[in-house]
Structure 1
């Protein structure tokens, strides 16, 4: 592996710290392979902290980078440590760090924007084109024991929030940004497309927001069963592959009753699958919002443009999140949301490869797979 800078970018070799423990990491290669190798450890620079990563969730994007080598314009061109849903413990602080100290438990906000462009200056730092995002080539991610990260993007965990919950703050942030942008309404119906981790978090968050009634859709009956137990008040709909988008949309609408007023005015589309996006367009009521949260194909050719236009349906998008970690911490610390049941599989860091294989096959029955490192580290 080529050495990296303190923020993860590739650079010439530099002197490493001799740590009392090795630094195992899980890396994806440009030829769609995974490998577990030792990674170097670097001292924190000004404004940075050295973290012991305690928990990392496996995300669908990690699987995309492994299987296809890209997500849109983001391309794996060399070895890169995966992972971005993480929490850990501060081991060392670099010069000028005043907000954290060794021993602090933190959640890691993985995107480090440039701070200088007009989007950063406007507060929309999630749209920064020069963002250095953990686990996206060439910026190394969190499936490793030790990682350098700017202190500014590390958020202290309350005492009653576990490392596992701290690692769930990243997918929760995706949902929070989507819900805020969609504007769910108290007592108004909504549909969540997809009962994967993001869809299930969206279901729980929509319930906490007061939206009602709620319907969640999926192809997999086991995931719908999980959703029903996770949020008992929801209704479920198993997508019928023998029907087209209009046919499935008609069936989903029936769950809300026959009156137009009670049809869902918000759809949270969490799959990124084209047929699901089209179904969402035909499901939402006239004047409603379809919020695309899931990651999809670069080009979709079958969107019903004139239906969206004539019904004044807003098709909206999000890119990751911004300013969500403080609110997410309040949701978890204040017990507004309990996301712990989502973690169905846990692997030690040394078996991170197995974790990705488990996550990549629906037949394994996983919801959220996490990689944990329970060793004690003292520098």
Structure 2
């Protein structure tokens, strides 16, 4: 990782120039940093990372209205074409001509936000009130993933939910499930610290710590702590190596995990019908095969599994479970039309406005480690790939501040 000095042009038509104040490090950023690739996307030229950012408007280009110098903004960094059928339907996150900062998908690459200043379309800069911090504003990006996931799930009040993976996206997805009226939200992860955090801060109502090593009568397997990439920030996924467990062994492990996760909710909600075993919806936030298998077994007949995490691209799944239970499997990719909702939620949290019995937890508190300046980016990326620092403290969200 190197720092370069370049000259920035004046903002073009429809653009504003933003002095970046905070950038959060996402799991996809870590993947590019460590492997120069994210899933199937390989960087073929130098790529500036970062896409969870906020800052201040310092220059305004032609054909821009509604912005002033000094405005505080959060950046939505995916720029669709705005003209295709998908865009006109409002699902611009699926636009084939989408350019997304810090992604190698488009060539030349759309450079990320780890820069002192960038020119960005004004239409994709969202103004912020003064009482929302730049750190919290940067977290609007992963919060948008959670908002979009829950929008796709469309829970009804009183629904039950399971969230697998307690990284930033998993936590925020759990919070949004609670915001949408889910009466019980269980979150599962291999990291005790993250599960404890989720319960203590009110992101979820129940927590399950997945044993790092499981022993059965036929075989044993190690459930490994992983950092993966895609739409989500670093999290602890759960993976059983194929060399250790057969598919049938994975399935038995998935059934056991699902049963133990469900037992937590049942113990506190005794009125649940035994014949209606399972949660209404499961949000799979790791992208790992055994987690997806567990999701299918944990979801009740007629329920939904929402694929949030992007990890293992090809998976072997017990799809007969989905067939026989009529479980809907829904994919999500990033987000669309979410920033306004996210800002409203942050405003409500800061102003102490209580809605239907739930207020979004303080997102500033999710930032566990801050690094000053681009010159310290390497240390930030190294720490972001871990779940605890050298002192044993929880690593959740690492940000780089100006």
With normalisation by structure 1, the TM-score equals 0.86
Figure out how many residues of one structure are paired with residues of the other and give that number: 339
* Counterpart Cα distance in 2 of 1:211 and 1:262: 16
- Provide the secondary structure at the position in 1 that maps to 2:286: coil
Which of 268, 280, 290 does residue 283 from structure 2 map onto?
268
Which of 357, 371, 382 does residue 357 from structure 1 map onto?
382
* Counterpart Cα distance in 1 of 2:39 and 2:379: 26
* Counterpart Cα distance in 2 of 1:43 and 1:73: 34
1:174 and 2:145 aligned: yes
Change over 3 Å in CA distance of 1:195–1:158 after alignment to 2: same
- Provide the secondary structure at the position in 2 that maps to 1:294: coil
Deviates more, 1:213-222 or 1:202-211: 202-211
Structure 2 residue aligned with 1:251: 260
Structure 1 residue aligned with 2:398: 369
Superposition CA RMSD, Å: 1.5
- Provide the secondary structure at the position in 1 that maps to 2:70: coil
Are the counterparts in 1 of residues 206 and 265 from structure 2 also a CA contact under 8 Å? no
* Counterpart Cα distance in 1 of 2:79 and 2:32: 20
Which of 341, 344, 347 does residue 368 from structure 2 map onto?
344
* Counterpart Cα distance in 1 of 2:363 and 2:41: 29
Structure 1 residue aligned with 2:76: 109
Structure 1 residue aligned with 2:214: 242
Which of 115, 119, 143 does residue 144 from structure 1 map onto?
115
Deviations 1:158-208 (A, max 9, x none): 222111111010000011000000112211211111111111111222222
Shift of 1:99: 2.0
* Counterpart Cα distance in 2 of 1:295 and 1:99: 36
Structure 1 residue aligned with 2:326: 312
* Counterpart Cα distance in 2 of 1:225 and 1:35: 37
Change over 3 Å in CA distance of 1:117–1:73 after alignment to 2: farther
Structure 1 residue aligned with 2:101: 134
Structure 1 residue aligned with 2:225: none
Change over 3 Å in CA distance of 1:363–1:334 after alignment to 2: closer
Change over 3 Å in CA distance of 1:232–1:111 after alignment to 2: closer
Q: Which residues of 2 match residues 1-379 of structure 1 at below 5 A?
A: 34-137=1-104, 138-231=109-202, 234-240=205-211, 241-242=213-214, 244-257=253-266, 259-261=274-276, 263-300=278-315, 302-335=316-349, 336-337=359-360, 338-349=362-373, 350-364=375-389, 365-373=394-402
Are the counterparts in 2 of residues 195 and 227 from structure 1 also a CA contact under 8 Å? yes
* Counterpart Cα distance in 2 of 1:104 and 1:260: 55
* Counterpart Cα distance in 2 of 1:286 and 1:346: 44
Change over 3 Å in CA distance of 1:295–1:39 after alignment to 2: farther
* Counterpart Cα distance in 1 of 2:89 and 2:319: 31
* Counterpart Cα distance in 2 of 1:144 and 1:52: 8
Are the counterparts in 2 of residues 192 and 202 from structure 1 also a CA contact under 8 Å? yes
Shift of 1:233: 6.1
Are the counterparts in 2 of residues 203 and 231 from structure 1 also a CA contact under 8 Å? no
Deviations 1:267-293 (A, max 9, x none): 111111111111111101111101011
Change over 3 Å in CA distance of 1:113–1:200 after alignment to 2: same
Deviations 1:37-83 (A, max 9, x none): 32332210000011100011000110112223333443211101000
* Counterpart Cα distance in 2 of 1:270 and 1:49: 34
Deviations 1:20-48 (A, max 9, x none): xxxxxxxxxxxxxx222323322100000
- Provide the secondary structure at the position in 2 that maps to 1:55: strand
With normalisation by structure 2, the TM-score equals 0.81
Shift of 1:140: 0.5
